[in-house]
Amino acid sequence: MAGVTLQDVARATGFAVSTVSYALRGARNVPPATAERIKAEAERMGYRVNARVAELMAHVRRGRGADPADRLALVWVEAGAESGVGREIAEGARTRALERGYGLAEFTLAKTGGRARRLADILVARGIAGVVFGPVFERARVDIDWPWGRFAMAVVGTAEWKVPLSRAAHHHYEAMRLALDTAGKTGATRPAVWLGATTNERAHRGWQAAWLAYGPADAAKRLWLTDERPGRQAIQRWLREMQPDAMLVCGSGQAQRLREAGWTHEPGRTFLLDWRAGAGLPGVDQGYDTIAGHAVDLVVAQLQRNERGAPDPPRSLLFPGRWRQDA
């Protein structure tokens, strides 16, 4: 049936339009049985959210402030919420949520003893139907016991999840191309790269692939891919073998260890693939705040279409980051 409205669903179910609207948004002020009945009838009738009305309501919410039924959740499944990256992600997600007329509440899986379903029940009880999952930093795959069909969801980052979800993430491949291009413009002809194996794997080997495709002729030889913390002598041996005139590293920690091992270079010949303010070196600012904001957009779009569960197909928004020349 084409052109089905909220009023049509209200007439078919015998409930007020406001009740239908709240039920379809997952608000907690509607009894679960009533909400399920309304959702089933709306699905049967072929109801779809009117995009213009949805945007208008977002504008109204922005003007009056978000009520409990208009909140999203930022869920952290592992430690990281209090890190600098975590704060940047939370701020980016919160800012974008407010722009779209929603509030944002943060939750950590650790607070429920790692029980994901318990955390999901808390969100449902609070009337939260939209979830942004924060990135993971210690693994390449996430497998939690979560009721996927109850929420509109998106993830930040490139890790694989038990259920394929829409994501907003850093484009590691394009970022490596950017770093290589910048290194080449400094006159470097013998760059080498030191990558963390787990991070590279979580990024679907994007850094590695771009290095092999666009790096020097002997790129495979000039790649150090490891999660180990090599000692000073091991680093010195590698530097003597490579004789690099530029170094690409994940972050400032690796750059510091190179310096301690005697890496000497012209100014501007060490490049960070994960730049941080205050690092004192040029590199790629991955733009976690921007990425988190786009993850919010993915969730809001699902809510406006009254979609729950894993999308088919999931959407991926990838961003190469911004080049930062110095601190």
Strands 322-324 and 283-285: antiparallel
211-221 exposure pattern, b = at least 16 Cβ within 10 A, e = fewer: beeebbeebee
Strands 246-249 and 191-195: parallel
Per-residue pLDDT, averaged over 205-234, amounts to 95
Do 124 and 64 meet the contact criterion of CB atoms below 8 Å apart?
Answer: no
**In terms of pTM, does the model score above 0.85?**
no
For residue 97, give the nearest of 124, 132, 146 by alpha carbon. 132
Whole-number percent of the chain with pLDDT over 90: 65
Confidence of residue 50 (pLDDT cuts 50, 70, 90): low
Residue 66: per-residue pLDDT: 46
Examine the pLDDT at 123 and tell me if it is beyond 90: yes
Token pair for 272: 């960070």
CB atoms within 10 A of CB 61: 18
Residue 33: per-residue pLDDT: 84
For residue 22, give the nearest of 57, 73, 71, 69 by alpha carbon. 69
Residue 173: per-residue pLDDT: 97
Examine the pLDDT at 68 and tell me if it is beyond 70: no
Task: Sketch out the chain's domains with CATH numbers.
Answer: 6-48 (no CATH), 66-170+288-319 (3.40.50.2300), 172-285 (3.40.50.2300)
Query: What are 228-257's pLDDT values in tens digits?
Result: 889 999 999 999 999 999 999 999 999 999
CB atoms within 10 A of CB 136: 21
Greater pLDDT, 161 or 49: 161
Per-residue pLDDT, averaged over 43-68, amounts to 58
Residue type, 102: Y
Examine the pLDDT at 153 and tell me if it is beyond 80: yes
